[in-house]
């Protein structure tokens, strides 16, 4: 009996020591992660590696070159739209009879040369050129949108790559924790004190972690492929990153009025809508002048041979708007209705833009508070919970599984903390892009998903947290592409 009691006491001490090792390992993982208040931080847009990637992408993107070529393609058409109509050269022969050429013999037989020049109604050429200039301006805004979207795509791709690598690091910490757990449960079970369920559970979690490691490795390759494509490199070209999500400074709070004024000044979509109003107004001007007839001035010379003096002619003519006048007036009325439509669409777009700015400001404020809550409270409480669970286990009031759950819960909260930081960066990227997409829903989902998980099942929650990639917050908006809409 004394020997069995000694063995039992030794096994209990083994379990307590092993559990302490697991909890301390998880706490160390949290302590090693950089925190904004304790470690040097840098704004995402000031990251030198990201700046180099952006510059490389801007030089390599065919979409940007295509948008620039669109400007070059439209610019010559302005001069063409405002050019004078080409004169018409007419060569002719008038002859008396069919038997022979009577030029020089008959007064009414001659060879003629005539030039006719159409003179557009005053203002028509200028109106056409002004309308064509808007096409160049629109193409220039396409370049601006392509550039903003290209920069944002690189920033999101870089952020996603850094995030998945951070997640891999957390998964490695969790794998080390469960590897220790497998060894501990086997030793305890071999000592006759543990349960086979603990051994099986530890082994199951190790297999699950391996599956998640493979999934994260595949995701890392996909993120790398996306970033390499954006910079015109081979898809599998390695790209080491030294940055971590926790090392990024949180974006500054958004002043709604100032941000809205900035967005109004720089949003390509808003500028496009304003150009649509201008185009509609210029179309009205052109349509009202198009109803006025163009004049055709003709001058000609008729040569009647050597013995007869030449003749000349001058004529002025133009169409009589007997059949097109009413249609032209209806066209002007339709163009005026188009002006009204374009103005209303501009107003609607301004309202959407202001909402997007306000939504981002609210979401960023909430996420910043969430990050602070994690950094200043939740992470410390998670560690304290693990300590308390260990103390309860040592006194026989908690199970070994509860100790493991508490230790893994630290990793759950660390992962959610990084998710919240990632979401703040995603909102800042969308703000710099002047995007009209509602990116705050995804960021809000991340914030809600970043709630602490405690008690039983925290280890499984930690496993899920390390695989739930913040794709919604960092993936490029599918609808925007190079258009941002």
Q: Given a cut of 70, is residue 163 above it in pLDDT?
A: yes
- Over residues 23-36, the mean pLDDT reads 49
Domains of the chain: 2-474 (1.20.1600.10)
Q: Given a cut of 80, is residue 190 above it in pLDDT?
A: no
Give residue-wise pLDDT tens across range 323-355: 777 888 888 889 999 999 999 999 999 999 999
Q: Given a cut of 80, is residue 275 above it in pLDDT?
A: yes
Q: Given a cut of 70, is residue 450 above it in pLDDT?
A: no
- Over residues 183-210, the mean pLDDT reads 71
Q: What is the average pLDDT score of the chain? A: 81
Which pLDDT value is given to residue 395?
66
- Over residues 23-47, the mean pLDDT reads 59
Which pLDDT value is given to residue 358?
95
* Three-state DSSP string of the chain: CHHHHHHHHHHHHHHHHHHHHHHHHHHHHHHHCCCCCCCCCECHHHCHHHHHHHHHHHHHCHHHHHHHHHHHHHHHHHHHHCCCCCCEEEEEEECCCCCCCCCCCCCCCEEEEEEEEEECCCCHHHHHHHHHHHHHHHHHHHHHHHHHHHHHHHHHHHHHHHHHHHHHHHHHHHHHHHHHHHHHHHHHHHCCCCCHHHHHHHHHHHHHHHHHHHHHHHHHHHHHHHHHHHCCCCCCCCCCCCCCHHHECCCCCCCHHHHHHHHHHHCHHHHHHHHHHHHHHHHHHHHHHHCCCCEEEEEEEEECCCCCCCEEEEEEECCCCCCCHHHHHHHHHHHHHHHHHHHHHHHHHHHHHHHHHHHHHHHHHHHHHHHHHHHHHHHHHHHHHHHHHHHHHHCCCCCHHHHHHHHHHHHHHHHHHHHHHHHHHHHHHHHHHCCCCCCHHHHHHHHHHCCCCCCCCHHHHHHHHCCCCCHHHHCCCCCCCCCCC
Residue % of the chain over a pLDDT of 90: 52
Which pLDDT value is given to residue 23?
53
């Amino acid at each position: 009996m004394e020997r069995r009691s000694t063995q039992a006491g030794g096994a209990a001490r083994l379990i307590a020591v092993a559990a302490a090792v697991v909890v301390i390992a998880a706490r160390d993982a949290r302590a090693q992660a950089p925190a904004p208040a304790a470690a040097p931080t840098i704004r995402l847009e000031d990251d030198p590696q990201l700046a180099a990637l952006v510059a490389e992408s801007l030089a390599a993107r065919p979409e940007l070159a295509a948008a620039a070529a669109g400007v070059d393609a439209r610019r010559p058409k302005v001069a063409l739209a405002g050019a004078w109509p080409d004169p018409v050269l007419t060569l002719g022969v008038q002859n008396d009879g069919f038997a022979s050429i009577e030029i020089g013999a008959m007064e009414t037989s001659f060879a003629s040369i005539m030039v006719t020049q159409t003179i557009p109604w005053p203002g028509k050429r200028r109106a056409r050129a002004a309308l064509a200039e808007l096409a160049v301006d629109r193409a220039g805004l396409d370049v601006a949108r392509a550039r903003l979207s290209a920069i944002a795509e690189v920033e999101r791709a870089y952020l996603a790559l850094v995030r998945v690598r951070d997640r891999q690091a957390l998964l490695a910490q969790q794998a080390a924790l469960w590897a220790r757990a497998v060894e501990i449960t086997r030793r305890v079970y071999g000592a006759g004190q543990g349960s086979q369920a603990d051994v099986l559970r530890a082994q199951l979690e190790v297999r699950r972690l391996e599956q998640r490691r493979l999934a994260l490795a595949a995701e890392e390759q996909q993120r790398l492929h996306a970033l390499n494509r954006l910079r015109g490199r081979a898809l599998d070209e390695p790209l080491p990153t030294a940055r971590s999500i926790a090392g990024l400074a949180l974006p500054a709070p958004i002043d709604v009025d100032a941000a809205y004024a900035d967005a109004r000044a720089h949003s390509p979509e808003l500028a496009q809508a304003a150009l649509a109003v201008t185009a509609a107004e210029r179309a009205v001007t052109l349509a009202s002048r198009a109803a006025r007839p163009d004049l055709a001035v003709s001058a000609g010379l008729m040569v009647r041979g050597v013995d007869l003096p030449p003749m000349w002619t001058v004529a002025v003519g133009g169409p009589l708007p007997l059949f097109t006048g009413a249609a032209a007036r209806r066209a002007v009325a339709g163009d005026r209705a188009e002006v009204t439509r374009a103005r209303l669409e501009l107003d609607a777009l301004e309202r959407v833009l202001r909402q997007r700015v306000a939504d981002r400001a609210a979401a960023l404020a909430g996420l910043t508070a969430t990050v602070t809550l994690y950094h200043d409270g939740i992470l410390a409480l998670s560690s304290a919970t693990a300590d308390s669970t260990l103390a309860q286990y040592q006194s026989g009031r908690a199970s070994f599984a509860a100790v493991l759950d508490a230790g893994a819960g630290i990793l759950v909260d660390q992962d959610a903390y990084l998710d919240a930081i990632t979401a703040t960066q995603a909102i800042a990227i969308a703000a710099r892009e002047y995007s009209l997409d509602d990116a705050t829903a995804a960021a809000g989902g991340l914030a809600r998903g970043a709630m602490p998980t405690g008690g039983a099942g925290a280890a499984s929650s930690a496993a899920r947290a390390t695989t739930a990639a913040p794709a919604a917050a960092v993936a490029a908006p599918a609808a925007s592409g190079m258009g941002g809409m």
